[in-house]
Amino acid sequence: MKKLTTALLAAGLILSASACSAPAQLTTAETCDRLKIVVSDPSASAGRTGMVILGNKLRPIVAGASDELKPAVQAILDYADESAKESPDAAKVAQLQADYQKAGATFGQLCN
C-alpha cells in the first residue's frame, strides 16, 4: 500500500510540475484581448505608480504573448519599468519612448 501511495504521489508531482513548466502560447487575438484589458484600466495610467501597475500587469502577458506582439509588449514593459524607477535615466527613457510609440502603433495595427 505504501508503494502504491508513493507511486501515485510521485506521478502527481511530475504531472503538476510539467503543467507549470511552460506558459501556453497565445494567439494574436488572445494577446490583443489581454492587452486591451490592461491598457484600458484607469489604474495603469501615467505617473510612477501607474507605470508600476502597468508593468506588473504586463509581466504575465509577455511570457505567453504571440510572436507578432511579444516585441511590442516587451517594449511597453521596458518603458514602464524604466519610467517607474525612483530616478529614471532620461536618455534611456527617451530611447524607450520611441520603442514604446512603435509598440503602440503595432498594437493599433494588429488589434483593431
For residue 14, the model assigns a pLDDT of: 60
For residue 112, the model assigns a pLDDT of: 82
Contacts of 86 (CB under 8 A, 6+ apart): none
For residue 8, the model assigns a pLDDT of: 47
Give the mean pLDDT per block of 10 residues along the chain (112 residues): 54 53 80 89 80 90 92 93 90 92 91 86
**Are the beta carbons of 49 and 34 closer than 8 angstroms?**
no
The greatest distance separating any two alpha carbons of the chain, rounded to the nearest whole angstrom, comes to 66
